[in-house]
Amino acid sequence: MDVPIILIVALIAGIISIGMALYFAKLVMKEDPGNERMVEVSGYIEAGAKRFISVQYKMLGIFVVGLSIALLFLPSPLKGSATYDRIFPDALNWEQMIAYLIGSVGSMFAGWLGMFVGVKANTRAAQGCTISTKKGFDVAFFGGAVMGLAVVGVALIGVSILYWVIPDPTIILGFSFGASSIALFMKCGGGIYTKTADVGADLVGKAEYNLPEDDPRNPATIADNVGDNVGDIAGMGSDLFDSYVASIVAAMMLAASFAVLGVIESPLVDVTLSDAGKAIFVVTPVVFCGVGLISSLIGIYLIKWKGSEEPGKALNTGTYFATLIYFGLSALITFFLTIGLENEEIGLLWRIWGVSAIGLLSGIVIGFTSDYFTRADRKPTRNMAYAAQEGHAVVILSGFSYGLISVVPPAIGIIIAITFAYLLAGVFGVALAAVGMLAIVGTIVSNDAYGPIVDNSRAIAEQGDLGEDIIRIADKLDSAGNTAKAITKGFAIGAANLTVLALLFSFAIEANEIEPGSLLPEDMNLLSPNVLIGAFIGVVIPALFSALLILAVQRNAAIMVKEIRRQFESNPKILSGEEAADFGKTIDIATKGALKELILPSIISIATPIIVGILFGVASLGAFLAGAILSGFVFAVMMSNAGGAWDNAKKWIEDGNLGGKGTEIHKASITGDTVGDPFKDTAGPSINTLLVVMSLTASIFLGFLLLFNGGAGLIRF
Amino acid sequence: MDVPIILIVALIAGIISIGMALYFAKLVMKEDPGNERMVEVSGYIEAGAKRFISVQYKMLGIFVVGLSIALLFLPSPLKGSATYDRIFPDALNWEQMIAYLIGSVGSMFAGWLGMFVGVKANTRAAQGCTISTKKGFDVAFFGGAVMGLAVVGVALIGVSILYWVIPDPTIILGFSFGASSIALFMKCGGGIYTKTADVGADLVGKAEYNLPEDDPRNPATIADNVGDNVGDIAGMGSDLFDSYVASIVAAMMLAASFAVLGVIESPLVDVTLSDAGKAIFVVTPVVFCGVGLISSLIGIYLIKWKGSEEPGKALNTGTYFATLIYFGLSALITFFLTIGLENEEIGLLWRIWGVSAIGLLSGIVIGFTSDYFTRADRKPTRNMAYAAQEGHAVVILSGFSYGLISVVPPAIGIIIAITFAYLLAGVFGVALAAVGMLAIVGTIVSNDAYGPIVDNSRAIAEQGDLGEDIIRIADKLDSAGNTAKAITKGFAIGAANLTVLALLFSFAIEANEIEPGSLLPEDMNLLSPNVLIGAFIGVVIPALFSALLILAVQRNAAIMVKEIRRQFESNPKILSGEEAADFGKTIDIATKGALKELILPSIISIATPIIVGILFGVASLGAFLAGAILSGFVFAVMMSNAGGAWDNAKKWIEDGNLGGKGTEIHKASITGDTVGDPFKDTAGPSINTLLVVMSLTASIFLGFLLLFNGGAGLIRF
């Protein structure tokens, strides 16, 4: 099989994906946006989201240009690559820079498209609920699918064109770095934004003035809804976009290195590569992703078809079917890929297929343990609700503890995936497990982006006075979104974890390609002081990063709280409903605060790996990444699950259990939920992006770091 | 210099220490125990403490006998030791078992003595306050010093006699394991006990019935005071005892290995050892500890002399002076030790002296950053108090974030200590830095044990109706105790961290002594899947362990809450003060619950290293330990500092700031304090012991683990 043809398949899959996204967008736009009030509210949300995005993108523009210039002058990571004749053979990294720019712009485009459709879909889905549950579901789900398909489409088109023009995966590293640095801003900024608004709205509106959720009198209501779009649609989309691309890059870079070496090592057997094999293994990750996209598309249609009265079940069924279809289709394409390969290569390719299936399966398992730990009808969340009977503090202790315990099952899942992946196909196997886990990312992101849309729909139904029955339907759609969200988060964490592990392996191999012997296995020995120190710093960073984000939300929410109180106090007509609150002001606070507060965490995530590399050397940097991956996993899972469980415990009490709304028990559960907000929607999910950005920074700056005592660092032990 | 003479010095120092402890105990006993009511209350506390200890020690007896038998049949870790002819040369580990028994009994004795005097000192210190602040301080401080001196004395006597009879440090590993396994039970059990009572007393007594702290009508008051003794005196004492012994053992084992190799490697120069050098370097850790004891004794007398009107200052001054005296005295003894050594050895010995000084200094720095992050007049705690204005949830978010941020300075402290220690004297340097950090443990434990005594005194003064003025004096003594406690905790965490790092190095060297080549540097390479998996499990364990302890407190406190409510409801005369509450019942709940709940965490801490070693091999086990050390550090510091800060933020509000007691702000700050209770007094400090126990388990079971594929483990990559 000729390589370009395979790439053409991936490219076509990508184009189809974008085409479908645009088609779905058109379907959504055609729907009825509802009554005047609904259009008005939706318009506010849209304006707020656009404002945030435009300010954010301007800031990103400056950052991207600055980093491009830095990349241009970095010692080229391509120098050591033997697979490719450079287009610009001088010292400057033009290719890398261009790839970086494409990655950044691609990520921004996908985020923008997803969000643009999201803010159109919310009011249309609310109006759809007046016709039937199914109608409302369809509109919201198609709206979400735009984001899912845009993510996959941009990624596949970008990777396949870049690799076609410049057949060196190191180039795609630049593309991936572009995607990640945008994701970092989108995720941190969006996360701070959404929780500033949410916490602010809850603390004053709900707690002090007893206003219900989404009450139009609450000045932060619109900002809260904007937050759902910027944090949960654009943020989560760019997060998974970034993991998705990074997993492809890590696998391709490893394959390219093996192609240079002419052999793929694995514990079972070392496979010598034929020329055909060299070409095939490099593009296998992209091909599997293409297959995954097709599976996702089928899954999306199944969800639409099934999504009648039980939207939550429909979303999960879609995920299951996409998984099964992926197993079958990828086996089929593996069979075609084996044509023309040698015997041992054929065995390896089949094992790689198996590894990608194991990766996907373990993603599902991780997602479902997240679901278990956050569902109101399961023991952990139920116990948390009971703990509310003993007051605020006990809810917190309970949630924190169950959050920590919930780290164990996904950790076992990841360990089993690593074990099998490595046993079957060595480090390449670990990379392919990550690719497999992310294969159906189209379905996953679609399900996830559905959540904030129906959340917004509910608010619009409330504000547009559609009546109790319609709000109940919107509520039902909303709660299905919450379940999907828990699963997506588990998936996102697991996938990011495997991806950065694969990036760690490719980092080590890359070091020896640029400067042979610069990173020997014994250099990464945990008994060396520099390795220990690197790992130590790595373990601390996710903790510090989370703390900074949470404090950012807290600081910003405090400003928001003051503003809401000021509006209520200065103009009593807001509370009586005679005059509209000043939504622009609260949106401004959320926007400016988010952008200001994301600077320090962003600097930390890019600067720390470089500093560790300069001071303690590249082996220390490798250990730094490993330490960050492991502790990042613990913090990300703990915060996501504790936050989700607190949220659902509160909802369960609000459903009338343990005395229901307004009781002391309910208040205690609100405390849990408020603590959980920045845990689950700001700090927890941002850690994924942090890990990917740090790993890519390490790989991109590797050539530069090798200048310091040949990679041994300034402090030599 | 002849080795036995040096050991005799350490032995004599140890005997003096025990002698002084008994002398101080006698001084305390001679004091006036106060009025009838005070004697009665103190009697309740004493009876409760004795009951807990007797039940606990019975359980420990069974555990110790069981583990002794297991140790007897383990493949001997001594087999590979070339330095010593075994007394019992057959396969059974008689020596190890006897050392283990001595370590266990020694730890139990030190804990018992410290607590026995503690429960006598509390009422006498309260009565002392009626004479003068100084009198009250002296009695309490002498009471605390008994624990401090007992710890050091038992450790030095045990180590020097054992090494004298059996000149192989591997033997002392057994002694250390005995001390640690007892410490694990004391710390976890005591921690669960104290917080069960404290949280229970607060939730019902303070929050529901508005009773003041230490109110005699509260049925859990006595249990709360008992908890201070079992958790904070016996628990913290056994924790530091265990780190102290482990640091000596790690250093001696490394020195013994270097003696066998004939060379001590360090980045500066590899020093070939003369016969005199071999003997001297092995005992240097013990000698430094002896010097530290003398410095501590002088420090203790300085504190007594200075401890007039400003008790807090006196405690800190004592610590500073003990540090300075240690620097001078250890330099002097280093000078004597160099007599008869070769030139290069002399240089190394001086560098080792420097390293021990750096260790101690960094301990002080870590202690004082803990102080900074937990003091009410500094920014973090002040911000937490302000956060209480925005409600319960924001206090929690703020404390959690600052707790995480507070990990950074001590991490930098440890990293600097490791860097210098390693640069100056290799891995031996790291071990000596730990020894140095723990050198003045006598002063540290004395200061720490003072805390719970004055805490009890305050309660007794309250219950004995000594009047507002006396209670205010007792309050002043109490708040000095809290500052000392924050510093001790920082110290304890830093010391445990360096100690387990040293144990990790000695673990690796030991493996190659037993089975040459069983743990090569490249085996510990972070890119090997088994090493990554080991590190992964290691990082998760402290999180899981903390969660289990917190849930244990929560479960147990819930039972306590029910019992307190039951007493108040079934007998209204308790609340009116006409009849005494049933203290026996609450003490029973705390005792039984604590002992039941510590079983699972204890099993995890001993079983996990063995399981990892069997499945993934000894290299994986090494990485497991490294992962646990690093994540354990993050969790221990975060929980201790967040807990301390919440506590002090609440106290600051209770002092009349931000509206003072009874306000909503005060209630929010109580939520912080209640969450912080199990953080800072149960889970956080137990992590130290967890790490030491896991490290020692790894070393003790090493011979056994090498039976599985020569240490490669059952799952071979």
DSSP letter (8 states) at residue A715: S
Contact (CB<8Å) B537/A411 = yes
Residue A258: CB atoms within 10 Å = 22
What local confidence, expressed as pLDDT, does residue B157 receive?
A: 94
d(CA A572, CA A273): 77
What local confidence, expressed as pLDDT, does residue B77 receive?
A: 57
The 3 state secondary structure assigned to A615-661 is: HHHHHHHHHHHHHHHHHHHHHHHHHHHHHHHHHHHHHHHHCCHHHCC
d(CA B626, CA B629): 5
Q: What does the pLDDT look like over B283-328, one tens digit per residue?
A: 899 889 999 999 999 888 888 776 666 788 888 888 889 999 999 9
Six-digit token string for A27: 């379907």
Q: What is the b/e burial string over B364-387, where b = at least 16 CB atoms within 10 angstroms of the residue's CB?
A: bbbbbbbbbbbbbeeebbbbbbbb
Question: A675 at the B interface (CB within 8 A)?
Answer: yes
C-alpha torsion B84→B90→B91→B95, nearest 10: -50
Question: For a pLDDT cut of 90, what percent of chain B falls above it?
Answer: 56
What local confidence, expressed as pLDDT, does residue A2 receive?
A: 55
Q: What is the mean pLDDT of residues A110-132?
A: 92
Six-digit token string for B403: 């707790």
Q: What is the mean pLDDT of residues B68-81?
A: 70
Nearest partner of B584 among B57, B37, B42, B45, judged by Cα: B45
Residues sharing a CB contact under 8 Å with residue A17, sequence separation 6 or more, in sequence order: A149, A150, A152, A153, A156, A293, A297, A442
Q: What is the mean pLDDT of residues B332-353?
A: 92
Rounded CA Rg of chain B? 24
Nearest partner of A288 among A237, A353, A194, judged by Cα: A353
DSSP letters for B94-162 = HHHHHHHHHHHHHHHHHHHHHHHHHHHHHHHHHHHHTT-HHHHHHHHHHHHHHHHHHHHHHHHHHHHHH
Residues sharing a CB contact under 8 Å with residue B62, sequence separation 6 or more, in sequence order: none
Residues in chain A: 717
Question: B558 at the A interface (CB within 8 A)?
Answer: yes
CB A599 within 8 A of CB A188: no
Contact (CB<8Å) B404/A557 = no
ipTM, interface predicted TM-score of the complex: 0.94
pLDDT level of residue A80 (50, 70, 90 thresholds) = very low
Question: A623 at the B interface (CB within 8 A)?
Answer: yes
Q: Is the pLDDT of residue B482 over 80?
A: no
Q: What is the mean pLDDT of residues A88-94?
A: 66
CB B118 within 8 A of CB B128: no
d(CA B459, CA B461): 5
CA distances from A429 to A113, A262, A550, B582 (A): 34, 17, 36, 64
d(CA A141, CA A28): 10
Question: For a pLDDT cut of 70, what percent of chain A falls above it?
Answer: 97
Q: Which of A162-176, A413-427, B557-571 has the lowest mean pLDDT?
A: A162-176
Residues in chain B: 717
Q: Is the pLDDT of residue B415 over 80?
A: yes
Q: Is the pLDDT of residue A95 over 80?
A: yes
Residues sharing a CB contact under 8 Å with residue B672, sequence separation 6 or more, in sequence order: A393, B384, B388, B392, B395, B396, B399, B646, B649, B650
Residue A222: CB atoms within 10 Å = 29
What local confidence, expressed as pLDDT, does residue B95 receive?
A: 85
Backbone angle region of A656, left / alpha / beta, with phi > 0 → left and psi within -120 to 50 → alpha:
left
DSSP reduced 3-state for B272: strand
d(CA A581, CA A209): 14
CA distance B547 to chain A (A): 4
Phi, psi torsion values for B481, nearest 5 degrees:
-65, -35
CB B693 within 8 A of CB B180: yes
Q: What does the pLDDT look like over A595-644, one tens digit per residue?
A: 999 999 999 999 999 999 999 999 999 999 999 999 999 999 999 999 99
DSSP reduced 3-state for B578: coil
Residue A666: CB atoms within 10 Å = 18
List of chain B residues whose C-beta atoms are within 8 Å of the C-beta of residue A408: 540, 544
What local confidence, expressed as pLDDT, does residue B1 receive?
A: 46
What local confidence, expressed as pLDDT, does residue A405 receive?
A: 97
Pairing of strands B271-272, A263-264: unpaired
List of chain A residues whose C-beta atoms are within 8 Å of the C-beta of residue B423: 717
Phi, psi torsion values for B477, nearest 5 degrees:
-60, -40
List of chain B residues whose C-beta atoms are within 8 Å of the C-beta of residue A526: 524-526, 531, 535, 622-623, 626
CB A636 within 8 A of CB A687: yes
Question: For a pLDDT cut of 70, what percent of chain B falls above it?
Answer: 97
Question: A646 at the B interface (CB within 8 A)?
Answer: no
Q: What does the pLDDT look like over B347-378, one tens digit per residue?
A: 999 999 999 999 999 998 888 888 899 988 89
Six-digit token string for B364: 């002080």
H-helix segments, B375-467 = 379-387, 392-405, 408-437, 441-463
Rounded CA Rg of chain A? 24
CB A124 within 8 A of CB A28: yes
> A541: nearest CA in chain B?
B408
Q: What does the pLDDT look like over A252-300, one tens digit per residue?
A: 889 888 888 889 988 888 899 998 888 889 889 988 999 999 999 988 8
- Determine if the pTM surpasses 0.90: yes
Minimal Cβ distance to A422: which of B207, B529, B557 = B529
Residues sharing a CB contact under 8 Å with residue B463, sequence separation 6 or more, in sequence order: B37, B38, B41, B214, B216, B221
Most confident listed range (A576-585, B228-237, B305-314, B619-628): B619-628
DSSP letters for B157-197 = HHHHHHHHHS--HHHHHHHHHHHHHHHHHHHHHHHHHHHHH
CA distance A174 to chain B (A): 24
pLDDT level of residue B75 (50, 70, 90 thresholds) = confident
List of chain A residues whose C-beta atoms are within 8 Å of the C-beta of residue B535: 526, 535, 626, 630
Considering only residues 583 to 622 of chain A, which have any Cβ-Cβ distance to chain B shorter than 8 Å? 622
Question: A207 at the B interface (CB within 8 A)?
Answer: yes
- Measure CA of the first residue to CA of the last residue in chain A; give whole Å: 50
List of chain B residues whose C-beta atoms are within 8 Å of the C-beta of residue A524: 525-527
DSSP reduced 3-state for A272: strand
Six-digit token string for A10: 């991936």
What is chain A's mean pLDDT, rounded?
90
Q: Which of A465-469, B87-91, B116-120, B252-256 has the lowest mean pLDDT?
A: B87-91
d(CA B199, CA B675): 9
Q: Is the pLDDT of residue A429 over 90?
A: yes
pLDDT level of residue B535 (50, 70, 90 thresholds) = very high
Phi, psi torsion values for B101, nearest 5 degrees:
-65, -40
Nearest partner of B690 among B117, B185, B7, B266, judged by Cα: B185
Q: What is the mean pLDDT of residues B524-529?
A: 93
CB A326 within 8 A of CB A294: no
What local confidence, expressed as pLDDT, does residue A577 receive?
A: 82
Q: Is the pLDDT of residue B2 over 70?
A: no
What is chain B's mean pLDDT, rounded?
90
pLDDT level of residue B94 (50, 70, 90 thresholds) = confident
List of chain B residues whose C-beta atoms are within 8 Å of the C-beta of residue A551: 397-398, 401-402, 405
List of chain A residues whose C-beta atoms are within 8 Å of the C-beta of residue B678: 397
H-helix segments, A438-467 = 441-463
Six-digit token string for B161: 């006699």
Tell me the count of A-B CB pairs closer than 8 A.
Answer: 239
d(CA A495, CA A414): 9
H-helix segments, A273-310 = 275-306
Name the more confident of B308 and A679: A679
Q: What does the pLDDT look like over A294-344, one tens digit per residue?
A: 999 988 888 877 666 678 888 888 888 999 999 999 999 999 999 889 889
d(CA A644, CA B112): 45
What local confidence, expressed as pLDDT, does residue A1 receive?
A: 47
CB A567 within 8 A of CB A658: no
Considering only residues 102 to 161 of chain A, which have any Cβ-Cβ distance to chain B shorter than 8 Å? none
H-helix segments, A571-598 = 572-576, 583-597
CB B564 within 8 A of CB B200: yes
DSSP reduced 3-state for B271: strand
Strand partners, A263: A272
Contact (CB<8Å) B550/A391 = no
List of chain A residues whose C-beta atoms are within 8 Å of the C-beta of residue B540: 407-408, 411, 634
Name the more confident of A498 and B85: A498
Q: What single letter denotes the amino acid at residue A86?
A: R
d(CA A403, CA A409): 11
CA distance B509 to chain A (A): 10
Q: What does the pLDDT look like over B192-227, one tens digit per residue?
A: 999 999 988 888 887 788 888 778 888 888 899 899
Nearest partner of A156 among A263, A35, A296, judged by Cα: A296
